[in-house]
Amino acid sequence: MEDRIGIMGGTFNPIHLGHLVVANEVQEEFKLKKVIFVPTGIPPHKEDRDIAKAEHRYTLVNLAIATNPNFAVSDIEIKREGKSFTLDTIKEFKKIYEGADIYFIAGTDAFIEVSTWKNIDELPSLCKFITVSRPGYSFQIEERFKPHTYLFEVTDLAISSTEIRRRIKEGRSIKYLVPQSVEEYIYKHGLYR
């Protein structure tokens, strides 16, 4: 059996326990050798000006995953000039992990926009999709993606990066929403104030 590598892209603004639980559940269910978190450099589908610098988000992910040997972080999109597109990232990982089966992990919110992604018809030949959804959330996969897509229901922790940023702005606690090391880094560097 070929190695299975999961790629979990996202803004991770900031990373939180919900992201980690999803990655852990997917890693176990699909027997992935590794899940690689890929913080976006310049996200093509987000115009939010409240996005922390890529270097901070990369460090936050690194801190969050430090104790899990099945997790890694890549700065592949941060180092790329211009906007970050999934297709380019998957192509690079196919070169790095030659012969491995690549699984792109995305939430249903991201996957709903998949038809707007750059050269989307090329992606199914390069990777399989794991689309994670919360319990009770219904979602239809386009016919052309069905043979390459797994729907996976994950534990719903109801944690969002938006809520974490809002709490920080309001001076409220984010304890138990993010790993302690992430919380300490956010406060030390004055992020999201």
Q: What are phi and psi of 46, to 5 degrees?
A: -130, 130
The bridge status of strand 4-10 relative to strand 34-39 is parallel
Which of 9-18, 108-117, 148-157 has the highest mean predicted lDDT (pLDDT)?
9-18
Tokens of 116: 């707007």
pLDDT digits (tens, 9 = 90+) for 28-81: 999 999 999 999 987 655 555 679 999 999 999 999 999 999 999 999 999 987
pTM for the full predicted model: 0.92
Distance CA 111, CA 130 (A): 10
What residue type is assigned to position 40 of the chain? T
Percentage, residues of the chain above pLDDT 70: 93
Percentage, residues of the chain above pLDDT 90: 67
Distance CA 104, CA 149 (A): 9
Distance CA 58, CA 78 (A): 8
Residue 95 has pLDDT above 70, yes or no: yes
Average pLDDT over residues 97-121: 84
Position 46 scores a pLDDT of: 56
Question: Between 60 and 113, where is the model more confident?
Answer: 60
Domains and CATH numbers, the chain: 4-160 (3.40.50.620)
